[in-house]
Chains A and B, each alone.
Chain A
Amino acid sequence: MNQKTYKNRLGILGWFYGGKYWIERYAYILHRISGFALIFYLSLHVFVTGERAKGSEAWESIMGFLKTPVFHFLEYLLLLAFIYHAINGFRLIFLEFGVFLGKPAQPKYPYITSIHRQRPFVFILMILGAIFIVIATIEYFKIGG
């Protein structure tokens, strides 16, 4: 935190306007929201699963509380958050290493930016994420037996 800091004019509201960044911006917003859900859950999860060290009675007692339909559905939402966060995180790791961004070159009209170059990768991964979500939903709720 040695660098100069700037006033955040839009604050949290700035998250919700994609502008020219379009799908990548919305992917980033969803990444943060799903990340929030996951870290909130993890903090509780560590204490809940810590009950196993106290023995079977403590474990069964806490599981009895968590096996209600409400918690079952909340865990499903968490599974969706995980799938999205993992798929988008996979994309971010690739982008961090410059994969799919193209090599730096003299700009020529019509200009193609690195955002455009990596966009097919975004679509492919989002389709893959949707397929994983469908499979996970079928398996989680045991749809069709």
Chain B
Amino acid sequence: MKESRLWFLQFLTGAILLFLLTMHMGIMHLEDIFGFISRVSGAEPLDWKAVLHRSKQVAFLVVNIIFLGSALFHGLYGLRNILIEAIPSKKFGKILGLVITIFGIILFLYGSYATIGIYVKKF
């Protein structure tokens, strides 16, 4: 993909993350402020009961996968750019691009598997 398109995606995913990561951090760590979104009575946000409650909602399933993809692209593309700047060699850039892409795909597949897995499994 052209570098300009990757750069555009970096900003697009940045804008998506600005919203989704704020929601995620808020729901998980600042429940007195963001608790109205997905509070389970008598449970902390990281208790199994609350985790299961969120994971069984189709909206959370879809948003989580978009969130995961955006976060991985944004983070790994940013990391690649920093490393290429630190070591400006074409060969290194190509190898790094390949390694980071494979790493990102593995994380995306595993994260999606866990998200879909808990959604479909009966506990």
B118 touches A53 (CB 8 A): yes
* A55 touches B (CB below 8 Å): yes
Sorting the interface of chain B by its residue count into under 10, 10 to 19, 20 to 34 or 35 or more gives: 35 or more
Query: What is the bound-complex CA distance between A82 and B25, given in angstroms?
Result: 9
Question: Which residues of B lie under 8 Å from residue A43 when comparing CB positions?
Answer: 103, 107
Total residue contacts A-B, CB cutoff 8 A: 97
A contact patch SS: helix
* CB contact under 8 A between A140 and B30, given known A6-B88, A35-B78, A42-B71: yes
Complex Cα gap A123–B52 (Å): 42
CB within 8 Å of A: which B62-80 residues = 68, 71-72, 75-76, 78-79
State which of B25, B76, B115 has its C-beta within 8 Å of the C-beta of A39.
Answer: B76
A121 sits at the interface (CB 8 A) = no
Complex CA–CA separation, A36 to B72 (angstroms): 12
Known A52-B114, A53-B118, A79-B29: A63·B46 in contact at CB below 8 Å: yes
Residues of B within 8 A of A93 (CB): 11, 14-15, 18
Q: Are A11 and B86 in contact (CB under 8 A)?
A: yes
CA distance A51 to B52 in the complex (A): 12
Interface size class of chain A, counting residues whose CB lies under 8 Å from the partner chain: 35 or more
Residues of A within 8 A of B88 (CB): 5-8
The yes or no answer to B22 lying at the interface (CB within 8 A) is: yes
Roughly how many angstroms separate A46 CA and B111 CA in the complex, as a whole number?
Answer: 6
Question: Across the interface, do A46 and B107 meet the contact criterion of CB distance under 8 Å?
Answer: yes
Does B82 belong to the interface (CB within 8 Å)?
yes
Q: Are A139 and B30 in contact (CB under 8 A)?
A: yes
The reply to whether the CB of A105 lies closer than 8 angstroms to some CB of chain B is no
A49 within 8 A of B: yes
Min CB gap A76→B, angstroms:
8
Chain A residues, Cβ within 8 Å of B48: 56, 59-60
> Is A89's beta carbon under 8 Å from chain B?
yes
The answer, among A1, A32, A51, A140, for a CB contact under 8 Å with B90, is: A1
Binary interface profile of B, 96-123, with partner A (CB < 8 Å = 1, else 0)?
Answer: 0100000100010011011101100101
Q: Which 8 interchain pairs have the tightest Cβ spacing?
A: A39-B75, A53-B117, A50-B114, A5-B88, A53-B114, A1-B93, A56-B48, A46-B111
Interface residues of chain A, those whose CB is within 8 Å of chain B, are 1, 5-8, 11-12, 32, 35-36, 38-39, 42-43, 46-47, 49-53, 55-56, 59-60, 63, 75, 79, 82, 86, 89-90, 92-93, 96, 135-136, 139-140
